[in-house]
A and B are shown apart, each in its own frame.
Chain A
């Protein structure tokens, strides 16, 4: 296409024309997804690396859609807990897969929002016409997490390697103290507050008065919904077994309110002894996600690319919004960023909560889902914190995490976005096929650092 440099009013007119066309950037569609069953840390995948798991997720996707030897536009993904040797984790996984070795790839990281952020990146590139196809993925293992050396030992080793003489080398190493030999294991504590995510969420849950029973109900529903989805074969074309595991092994199909009620609280215990306003701790291992290993991948493309290859199309990736909250100096809860992102996302797309058929709200903790819903129903909060005229509205519980979420499936940090996206895309496709009218899903993933990523997908 010939380009020219317009001047004056012509320039403004062209700019306006371009702006008018902006929504007309082409669609990015979701062809399908694949993940390996998620496994509780230290179990089936205890010696599987991030690269092996992501490669397995890619291989299942390649097999499902016949992508052997295909040069895709980009593969984007990441891991939250990552070895320094995995600096090119996604590219290395691509090279180990049956995709064309000419498929570019890059790693990104946005804590638990990594997977969804990867999909936002891929879909944006597709919409802009920079690529025609791409895979968004993520993987995480706590079983195979990196273990680092202490700062003292690290400094001494580096100094020794820089030293020119044996004497200088020994001198550098002599600085090592016994305490420096203790390895550093990865921590999910917030660097700026020193509090674990669970402790942060316990504060948020207490502030919103979320009851233990309500949290256990969310957890029970998650297990029941996920088990029903597995039994119905929903995951037959979304999951490929790995290392002999054929289902998510955190899933407890037979759990009950009684069993969940019998668990002891693990987070927020300090709040119970708080002198100001003691709060009974409510967060247990049952209504918090366990540490999990797993990987996921989602195939996105332009509609044309999919059609040329006779590939199915489940949904359009409509739009996305990320947000962050000031949980350090401000008063907002650590995991409340999606609460801020969603109203902006809905407004930009002219939608309300009532226009959403499926809500996929990542269950970092049962109370995260509940504080999110409570916040949107609270008119004062919505006015003062979100700048809305009143409450955003209520989420129909019948549309919430209908096929289960992280409490039951587990949550391998960077893999969760892909799990949710593929599930949501399949749900809207099925709903649209059943009702004959478009269906929409809203995705929300909270993340460490006060981050959150949200997105809308719609049937085609």
Chain B
């Protein structure tokens, strides 16, 4: 799974050699395993003075999760994470102390450690000082992510509207960022809204998601493009989290689809998502066979890279049809069916943010996904659901394995984490976004790119 270069620079003689030569040394990232602790070491919770109440609340929650929480740096610790709470910062000078305290412990941050900021989004009507400090945190997180080494990441929770720092959604996001599930999410700031009342009630009425490790129990999920690669990983991860998964792929991919389906104990639906009635047929299958439909993951996608000057109509049209139009049509059919609480995640791409040479068609389609996700969000919210997107960067799949060696090797080393992600990294982000507790995140794009150097 891990690429050969990463393996080489992490073991034996080649490790020593790489060190001596000063070669890039991507870390072997810690990934989620059932039963493993949330972080690899104690968590330091720091804040500016005004954010102290929020920091206290988060520290209490972390203690409740069984985490070793510290409020002051100590010399002996090998830190699992630093949680930097800046929700109350009002002017730029407010954050200095907490930021520099964070800096003082970075040398003792464990491999695959985490720095997670919790701050508030800028809004219309903010004073210039307030807007300055809030916006400043954005590039602070991104810059720090580029400095961290050994698989450590830096991400931020940006509370929007009147979301509280200890809302179920904010806490679920904190947990995701601290955990090994966000291994390849780096340099990202995720806007988190208030948890809708229904989700909040469900969270408090039942055992919290994370305690059961099966937050999707009883739910039915549809994953398109599930035969292999990222889609297969998503199907497996949603099944791990308790969902019954309907695995969809084109009839021609049926052999691999059957394999994935039988591995997750779901049902296979051989269907071309570009069919006019694809959404209706998906819904019919889910309802007839499993009684309901709660989650849709639009993962099916194709590439037909060509410079625009050389682009054949079929190459443009096929990419737009599969990557974009199919999602639009299926969403329209599902929303028209009045599904309550439908959770939608669409696969975008960093190419849909930064663009890519030879990818005018792909970039258009993936940026289109981001666009329609934002527009679909309020429609989904009206029925108690959400619509979000996940934008993978370079992920190690059969698809990227076809990229010429040198190009592929360069693409792997570009992100801050200096390696490609695994399909499961994307799958974990999807599983997080469709989890009940994440109901307050809507209309967002979460990048899973190891902090790719292009775009935001």
Binding site for B on A (CB under 8 A): 56, 59-60, 62-66, 68-69, 98, 233, 235-237, 239-244, 246, 310-312
Known A310-B291, A311-B289; contact A65-B267, beta-carbon cutoff 8 A? yes
* B267 / chain A contacts, CB cutoff of 8 Å: 63-66
How distant is the Cα of A429 from the Cα of B253 in the complex, in angstroms? Answer: 26
B262 CB contact (under 8 Å) in A59, A237, A312: A59
Does B289 lie within 8 Å of A66, measured CB to CB? yes
Decide: A56 and B255 in contact? CB cutoff 8 A: yes
Who on chain A is nearest to B289 by CB?
Answer: A310
B257 → A minimal CB distance (Å): 7
Given contacts A59-B258, A63-B267, contact A241 B253 (CB under 8 A): yes
Which residues of chain A are near B270, meaning CB under 8 Å?
Answer: 236-237, 240
For the complex formed, measure the closest distance between the CB of B404 and the CB atoms of chain A, giving whole angstroms.
23
State the CA gap A10–B259 with chains docked (Å).
Answer: 58
Which residues of chain B come closer than 8 Å to A98, judged between CB atoms?
262
Task: Tell me the residues in window 242-274 of chain B with beta carbons closer than 8 Å to chain A beta carbons.
Answer: 247, 251-255, 257-259, 261-262, 265-268, 270-271
A239-B288 in contact (CB<8A): no
Q: Is B290 an interface residue (CB 8 A)?
A: yes
Is B289 within 8 A of A63, CB to CB?
A: no
Other than the given A56-B255, A63-B247, 20 more pairs (CB < 8 A) read A59-B258, A62-B262, A63-B258, A63-B259, A63-B261, A63-B262, A63-B267, A63-B268, A64-B258, A64-B268, A98-B262, A235-B251, A236-B251, A240-B254, A240-B258, A240-B268, A241-B252, A241-B255, A310-B288, A310-B291
A151 to B258, CA, bound (A): 44
B residues neighboring A (CB under 8 Å): 247, 251-255, 257-259, 261-262, 265-268, 270-271, 288-291
A-B contact count (CB 8 A): 62
Residue of B nearest to A309 (CB): B289
Complex CA gap A237/B270 in Å reads 7
B290 — which chain A residues lie within 8 A by C-beta?
310
**Smallest CB-CB separation from A240: which chain B residue?**
B254
Known interface pairs A68-B262, A237-B270. Does A63 touch B291 (Cβ–Cβ under 8 Å)? no
Q: Is the CB of B251 within 8 A of A241?
A: yes
Residues of A close to B258: CB separation below 8 A: 59-60, 62-64, 240
| Chain B minimum-CB-distance residue to A247 | B252
CA distance A68 to B255 in the complex (A): 16
Which of chain B's residues have a CB closer than 8 A to the CB of A68?
262, 265
User: Are the C-beta atoms of B257 and A312 separated by less than 8 Å?
Assistant: no
Chain B residue numbers with a CB within 8 Å of A59 are: 258-259, 262
Contact A241 B254 (CB under 8 A): yes
Residues of A within 8 A of B289 (CB): 66, 310-311
Q: Which residue of B lies closest to A230 (CB)?
A: B251
Q: Max chain A CB contacts within 10 Å: which of B254, B259, B261, B288?
A: B254
Of B251, B265, B290, B291, the most chain A CB neighbours within 10 A belong to B251
Residues from chain A with a CB closer than 8 A to the CB of B291 are 310
Name which of A62, A64, A242, A244 has the most chain B CB atoms within 10 A of its CB.
A64
Q: Which residues of B contact A246 (CB under 8 A)?
A: 251-252, 254
Q: What residue of chain B has the Cβ atom nearest to residue A312's Cβ?
A: B288
Closest to B270 in A: A236
19 A-B residue pairs with Cβ-Cβ distance under 8 Å, sorted by A, are A59-B259, A59-B262, A60-B255, A60-B258, A63-B259, A66-B261, A66-B265, A66-B267, A66-B289, A233-B251, A236-B270, A239-B251, A239-B254, A240-B254, A240-B255, A244-B255, A246-B251, A246-B252, A310-B288
With a cutoff of 8 Å between Cβ atoms, the chain A residues found around residue B262 in the complex are: 59, 62-63, 68, 98
- Residues in A with CB closer than 8 Å to B265 are 66, 68-69
Q: How far apart are the CA atoms of A233 and B288 in the complex, in Å? A: 20
Q: How far is A68 from B259 in the complex, measured between Cα atoms in Å?
A: 11
Chain B residues closer than 8 Å to A310, beta-carbon distance: 288-291
Q: Which of B252, B257, B268 has the most CB of A within 10 A?
A: B268
Give B244's nearest chain A residue, CB to CB: A66
Closest residue of chain A to B266, judged by CB? A66
Bound-complex Cα distance A233 to B254 (A): 13
Note all chain A residues with C-beta closer than 8 A to B247: 63
Shortest A127–chain B CB gap in Å is 25
Tell me, in angstroms, the Cα distance from A236 to B262 when the chains sit together: 18
B275's nearest neighbour on chain A, judged by CB, is A233
Closest CB in chain B relative to A48 CB, distance in Å: 12
Query: In the docked arrangement, what's the CA distance between A237 and B252, Å?
Result: 11
Q: Complex Cα distance A64/B265, Å?
A: 11
Bound complex: CA of A66 vs CA of B285, how far in Å? 12
A311 contacts across to B, CB distance below 8 A? 289
Docked CA distance A242–B259 (Å):
11
Closest 9 A-B residue pairs measured CB to CB?
A63-B258, A63-B268, A63-B261, A98-B262, A240-B254, A66-B267, A246-B252, A68-B265, A241-B254
